[in-house]
Amino acid sequence: MQETAEAALAARLSPYLRDPGLLHLALAHRSWCAEHPGEESNERLEFLGDAVLGVVVTEHLYRALSARAEGDMARIRSGVVSTEALAPVAAALGVGEALLLGRGEESSGGRAKASLLADALEALIGAAYLASGAAAAEAMVGDLLGDLVLAETARRELGDAKNRLQELAARLSLPTPAYETTGRGPDHARSFRSVVTVGEHLGEGEGRSKKLAERLAAEALLVRLAAPGRGAAGPPRA
């Protein structure tokens, strides 16, 4: 099963990472290495990938947010590169199934642990950088994290969109936001669509995790409710 998952991951990342040795290394958790003397863990690649990811996201924010202060950009970057943000992306990519884990880590549910997933994703970015260069690593980050970066940079003000929508609905004496979120696609390439309604007003969002889809839906509805005349409730519900 692990070998099949690793092959599927290799195919998905082939535009950026075509070195099977580096791919294998990026998936090697230290618990597996402890049971296979002489094998190196993915920790050094993770260290490199963390730095590459930070540079790619920082450069994007610098170019895209010319009017934002340094503190705002730092907070947005922190949201993009956090374990909480990276883990669902790694899970949707199929990283969990492809991880090389020791027996103890395997039995304790290591394939679903957010920290292991995020670390491995950073290691894969580091592997792409070593195998194919900075341009490939940047393209990989854009492919895997593009919607997440857009969601963070599209915020008109900092703070959680769902909380802000709830506060705005209360100020406007509107009903509490209600979310309906559905997933589709295979486990290794799952996507989610969320529809949020506040009375007759509607917002929609899609992303690689349920949380991201709901956040994007909330952002979309925030824009509608803040628009002049705010009568545009969005497309009619079926």
Q: Mean of the pLDDT values across residues 178-185?
A: 94
Report pLDDT for 31: 97
Percent of the chain at pLDDT > 90 equals 63
Q: What is the pLDDT of residues 185-221, one digit of tens each?
A: 887 778 999 999 999 999 999 988 888 889 889 988 9
In sign, the C-alpha dihedral spanning 151, 156, 160, 161 is negative
What's the chain's average pLDDT?
Answer: 88
CATH of domain 2-153: 1.10.1520.10
Selection from 202, 201, 179 nearest residue 192 by Cα: 179
Report pLDDT for 235: 36
pLDDT at 24 over 90: yes
Which segments of the chain belong to CATH 3.30.160.20? 161-226
Active site residue 122: yes
pLDDT at 146 over 90: no
pLDDT at 156 over 70: no
Architecture field, domain 161-226: 2-Layer Sandwich (3.30)
Which segments of the chain belong to CATH 1.10.1520.10? 2-153
Q: What is the pLDDT of residues 62-115, one digit of tens each?
A: 988 877 778 878 888 988 899 988 999 999 999 999 999 999 999 999 999 999
Looking at the DSSP bridge assignments, the partners of residue 194 are: 181, 205
Q: Mean of the pLDDT values across residues 33-40?
A: 96
Q: Mean of the pLDDT values across residues 26-48?
A: 97
Contact 181, 210 (CB under 8 A): yes
Report pLDDT for 120: 98
Active site residue 147: no
* Residue tagged active-site, from 122, 138, 152, 214: 122
Report pLDDT for 5: 93
* Residue tagged active-site, from 50, 105, 147, 214: 50
pLDDT at 8 over 50: yes
Higher pLDDT, 235 or 118: 118
* Residue 139: Cβ-neighbour burial (10 angstroms; 0-12, 13-18, 19+): middle
